[in-house]
Structures are given as structure tokens and as C-alpha cells.
Structure 1
Amino acid sequence: MPDDARARARDDAPGAVTEASPGPLTAAEGMDRAVALARRGPAYGPNPRVGCVLLAADGTVLGEGWHRGAGTPHAEVAAIADAAARGSDIAGATAVVTLEPCAHTGRTGPCVDALTQASIGTVVYAVADPGDASSGGGEVLRGRGIRATLVPHEGAHALNRRWLAAMRAHRPYVIAKWASTLDGRMAAADGTSFWITGEEAREHAHRVRASVDAIAVGTGTVMIDDPSLTARPGGKQADHQPLRVVVGHTDTTGKRVWEGGGAVAIDSRDPHEILAQLWAREVRTLIVEGGPTLLSAFLRAGLVDELNAYIAPALLGAGPSVVDDLGIGTMADSLRGQAVTSERLGADTLVTALLTEGV
């Protein structure tokens, strides 16, 4: 194939990497590169973010790829296609992958088959796949005579932390999000809540919305605040819009949340039932934005994995609190966050914390 034709083919390959690849890499450097590639994939959706680098025995990069979202070629297949477009011989090569290659047929075929058919000699992966159907790829490869080794990598795990937690729990990863005053009020006594926080905090919240699968609010919030629940970072509609979920028994027909499609109603107040319905819709990350009734229900049920609290330097002294009674009678039983971080956003502060172990 002529060089110019090969270049065009490579640019058209699924997951093709258009810039020059780095020089010869060790396996550890190859994993760092695979993680960097994986970050290019979407944070939302039913699939994890995965990157793959194919290395020759001397560390030369033969092909690279990453997963671009549900229904697109997986990272391993994209890397094999990239290698073909480069004219690389990958027989006996090492595939460095951020996640254990899948061993099932979903929207696409098993990656273990693609690697086998490409005559890959060794597979190094950083995180074991926790999926009931997709796991076990390493064992399948070893059974076919391909060396497959788990080499843990913190960056690869962190990249898919929420997805991994969701897959292990068989429910969406839940982020409880709110904006409040210093004295814990979500709104004033007259019900007004626009705006508790400033522009920088609201911009950050919109970026988070654009990175998740769904947002849930109660019918009370819809009736009082009439939110659109869209993701608008930079004041513009994001390409990806999370599913808008209205929870409760009240009819909210005519409210802004129903404009333009992309919204569903769940006629239930049971957090377990809500999550089960969303899991069936392939929701893997969910923001629960309130109000207090819905937030409190999820907290009481022990179904909140992460807290995102945007705190404004304001006092109200009255008005609805962020959460209602959680049934906690003594300080020793209080919910305590782990891995707590804080970030200044203009005059406001974002406090994040994890509430469930192993996430």
C-alpha cells in the first residue's frame, strides 16, 4: 500500500490515533499511554473507558486505540485496526490494555476473539472486568495459549472508578448533589433558591451533568423550581445530555423538564425500585439532585456512593434543609464521608466525599 493511502486508511480506522505515537515503550510506559488514550473516551454510557497499545518486542508501538462509546469498536479492536492501517505485523505482539478484554458478545464481538485472531502473543491488563457476562477474558486467553497477566495500575482504576462500583453493585453509581447555604438551607423560607451559588459553581455542576448518564429529581422540585435539568457547560447545550428522571406520583405535565424529549417519569418513591428501572436502561451513573425528600430517601436507604455539596457563604436561618430526618439518633451513628476533598469555585466551595466502601 502506498504511504499516502496507508495514512488515509489509518485516519479512517476505528479509534485511529492521528498524531505520532511515542517512541519505544516499556510495558509500564505502554500502560500509561493506554490510560491517556482511554481518557479520550466518554465518561458516560454503559461501557467503561478503555485504551489499548500494541507493542513489539523492542517496545515499538505497532497500533493504538480507545473505546469511543457504546456500539463502537472496543479499544483492542480499534488498536488492531490502527496497526493494520500502519502496515504493522502484530503476530506475537504484546497488547497493553487498561481493562481485562471482554469475553462476551454485546453490541460488538468478544475482544478475546479479536486478539486471538490477530495472533497476539501476550496481553497485559490493569483492571479485572467485574461484569457478570463480560468478565473472565484473561482466563479465556490463557486457555488459548496467550499469556494474559493482571498488572494493577492506579490510573486505570481511577479512570473507571464509578463504572466499576456500579458493575459490582449491579445498580447505578449514585452521586447526591446539592447547593446550600452555610447553615444548610436548600432554599429560602419563601421557596426561592435561584441562585444560592455563583456562576463558577453552577458551571462546574453543568460539566458534571454532561459526564453522567442520568439526573433524578422529585416531582416537588419540578413543580416548585421548574428546572430544565439539561447540561449547559459554557452556557451551551452539551452534545451529551443525561436522561432526565422525574420521581414521584404527582403529574408534572407541561413543565420544562419534558421539553425536547430525553425525560422519563418513575412512579415510585422507593430508591431500590428507581435504581432497578434505571439499571435496566443502562444507566451507570446517576446524580440525585433533590429536593430534600428524594435526597433523604436515598441516604436512608444507604444507596448514595458520593456526595457533591456546593456550599455558598450565605446564611438564611430558615427554609428547607438539605436533608430530612435520616433516623440517626446519636453522633456515633452519623454518616461520615471518606476521601474528602474541597475545591474553591469563586466565592463558593465544593466538598466531595465517598460514602460507600470500595469505590
Structure 2
Amino acid sequence: MASAVEIDAMRRALQLARRGPRGLNPQVGAVILSPAGDVLAEGHHRGAGTPHAEVDALSQLAPGAARGATAVVTLEPCNHTGRTGPCAVALLEAGVARVVFALDDPTDAAAGGADRLRAAGVDVESGVEADAARLLIRDWIALQRTGRPHVTVKWAQSLDGRAAADDGTSQWITGPDARRDVHARRAQADAIVAGTGTVRADDPALTARADGGSLLDAQPIPVVIGRSETAPDAAVRRHPRTPLFYDTHDLTAVLADLGARGVQRVFVEGGPTLASAFIRDGLADELLVYVAPVLLGGSRLAIGDVGVPTIDHARRLAVASVQTLGDDLLIVAGPANTPDREGDA
């Protein structure tokens, strides 16, 4: 059983892990404790190709200084040689006597480090602060299992389900509190997606902004999907991050490519056509629907064809939450009776 000192060290390792970037590799932190329980070194993973958290921490110690020490790590030490060597071997060579980690590695390529350590006589403890560690890298875990990012589809609508008035005007259906919430959620995503139709019609910047219009520190990668050309002077081309353009309607292929780039969470704001396509193709893991207490009538529906020919084929949803944002409502929902992509590690 983990000691109080080891649990504290794991919580510190989780703080360190958050310093690392989201991407192809998980965010991992490590703390090396002396046999007496003092902190000898700390480390975290800084991105693909850089030393893993355990090696980062060990690199701060003189040769032999980790002999008999305990390594506290947020993810099972890897048993895999890629751009870097196996962390399990690095810990063995350093003479570490005990390893405490939070989560088993879910990937076939890297798993097995715990067994390798045990076989070499190292005392291994797993599952310490597992829930917190799982929450930290849940999107990365889902990406390993499915091969694609988590997809959130967002739209704003009137009470009667319209995204715009009949003349096409839509700013603003919802109020400032709802718009503030949207920008906060954009900043939490790795990529923001729109269709070429929306880019052509609305010229969105696809940035995450504060109330005054200034850019938030975290910015999603702008992604534009569709066959039409994007104008050279389009606002999206001035985004602080380099836009990605996909000349295709194959959303599965787009998500596979984004996943291969390390994108873990996608925020879709592409208008009714693109939103409907993600839902129709079964690629929407979460829906954010901002509902304003206004009536617009007309033909500008917020959602189009989602592949429902009859009521028996209706796409049933499970509502996760309903929140009041000023005068508006935010309904968060997802497909009913489907496995949780955030699942267990």
C-alpha cells in the first residue's frame, strides 16, 4: 500500500504532468523519493521525442544517487523503444528499488513495464491516485482506443430550432454569457473545425477570445473541411496557429489524420451542414446546444439531415447537464447507450 508520502508525491507528479503538452504522447509526471521519503528530483514529459518523465527526473541526479529510491510516476513506466528507450530499463539501471504508478499503460506497444520491473525484483505498486490520473489523460486514452479525437459538436439556436433568421442573419441569437462559455470551451479544445461554406459566408476567425476581443492564451488549431477554396485574405489564415485545410468530405479520414497529429479533442462549429454530417456519420461524441428564448421561424434550421428516415430511427440522446447562461440554456448531451469514449484505463 502506498504511504502518505508517496500519495503526496503522486499528487505533485500530476501537477508536473500538466506542464507537458497535449499531443501524440500522454502528459506524464514523475517524482523520485529517497529511501527516507525526501524528494530527490522531479520531471515531466515535454513532448514527442523528448525524455519521458522518469528519465527527465533521473537526469537531474548524479550517477548512483537513485539507488534504493522510489519512483512515483503518473503512468506505468514504458517497456518500449521508440525515439527514446524503455523507462523500465532506465529505472532498473538507476537502481530504483520501488515504483509507484497511477495507471496501467493502455497501449500494446508500451505496456509491460510493471511486469519487467517486478521480474527484476523491484517492488511495484499501481493504482495510486488513478482517478485523477485518468481524468488528466482521458482524451489521450480515448485516442489510443479509437484512433480518432473526441468530437464535440456545438450550435446555437432559437427556441424553435433555427440557427438564423430567414435573411441569414444570426448575430447574435444567444447572449454574452453563452458566447463567453463557447470561447472558454474553444480554448480547451485542440482543434476547432468549420466547413468551407461557413468560412466563405461568415469569415470566422476560429479563435478563442476574451470579452474584450483579445486572444486567450490557449488557441485551438483551426481546421477547414470542404471542396471550396478558402480566400487568401480569409480571417482564418490570420489565426495564431497554422490552419489545416482538408479538400474532402470524408470526416473519418480527417479525424484519423488529426489523431495522427496528436489532436485529442475537436470542437466543431461548422454550421448546420457540417454539424449534421458529423452526427449522421456517428462521429459526434458530445453535443453542446445553446438555446436562446427567441422565435425566428423560417427555414434556417440549426440541424439538417442526420440520417433519420422515420421516428423509429431517431437518434436518442442522453442529457448530461442543463445549465442556465444568462437568458440562455446550454444542453450538453451525447449518444444514448454507447460506450463511454473516456472509459477506464
Task: Tell me if both proteins adopt one fold, taking TM over 0.5 as the criterion.
Answer: yes
**Pair 1:293-2:273 in alignment:** yes
User: 1:81, CA displacement in angstroms?
Assistant: 4.1
Deviations 1:91-138 (A, max 9, x none): 222222222223334454432233223222222222222234333332
Q: TM-score, normalising length from structure 2?
A: 0.84
| SS of 1:191 mapped into structure 2 | coil
Q: How do residues 1-359 of structure 1 correspond to structure 2 at under 5 angstroms?
A: 25-42=4-21, 44-81=22-59, 84=61, 89-151=65-127, 153-233=130-210, 235-254=213-232, 255-259=234-238, 262-328=242-308, 329-330=310-311, 333-337=314-318, 340-355=320-335, 356-358=338-340, 359=342
User: 1:41, CA displacement in angstroms?
Assistant: 3.6
Consecutive unaligned residues of structure 2, counting only runs of 5 or more, are none
**Distance (Å, rounded) in 2 between the aligned partners of 1:192 and 1:347:** 20
| SS of 2:89 mapped into structure 1 | helix
Please say which of residues 122-131 and 328-337 is displaced more in the overlay.
328-337
User: 1:263, CA displacement in angstroms?
Assistant: 1.2
What amino acid is aligned across from residue 23 of structure 2 in structure 1?
A: G
**Distance (Å, rounded) in 2 between the aligned partners of 1:62 and 1:220:** 56
User: 1:241, CA displacement in angstroms?
Assistant: 3.2
What amino acid is aligned across from residue 115 of structure 2 in structure 1?
A: E
Cα 1:75–1:225, aligned 2, differ >3 Å: closer, same or farther?
same
Instruction: With a CA cutoff of 8 Å and minimum separation of 6, indicate the structure with the bigger relative contact order.
Output: 2
What amino acid is aligned across from residue 30 of structure 1 in structure 2?
A: A
User: 1:198, CA displacement in angstroms?
Assistant: 2.8
Cα 1:248–1:119, aligned 2, differ >3 Å: closer, same or farther?
same
**Distance (Å, rounded) in 1 between the aligned partners of 2:165 and 2:108:** 47
Deviations 1:194-239 (A, max 9, x none): 2223333323322332332222111111111111112234533344
Cα 1:325–1:159, aligned 2, differ >3 Å: closer, same or farther?
same
What amino acid is aligned across from residue 223 of structure 2 in structure 1?
A: V
Contact 1:300 1:326 in 2 (8 A): yes
What amino acid is aligned across from residue 80 of structure 1 in structure 2?
A: L
Contact 1:62 1:88 in 2 (8 A): no
* Structure 1 stretches of at least 4 aligned residues deviating more than 6 Å after TM superposition: none
| SS of 1:130 mapped into structure 2 | coil
Contact 2:198 2:271 in 1 (8 A): yes
**Distance (Å, rounded) in 2 between the aligned partners of 1:206 and 1:296:** 22
Contact 1:93 1:122 in 2 (8 A): yes
User: 1:157, CA displacement in angstroms?
Assistant: 0.8
Task: Name the count of aligned residue pairs.
Answer: 332
Cα 1:50–1:183, aligned 2, differ >3 Å: closer, same or farther?
farther
Cα 1:198–1:72, aligned 2, differ >3 Å: closer, same or farther?
farther
| SS of 1:316 mapped into structure 2 | coil
Deviations 1:244-267 (A, max 9, x none): 211111122232222356112212
Contact 1:191 1:319 in 2 (8 A): no
| SS of 2:24 mapped into structure 1 | coil
Cα 1:165–1:336, aligned 2, differ >3 Å: closer, same or farther?
same
What amino acid is aligned across from residue 56 of structure 2 in structure 1?
A: A
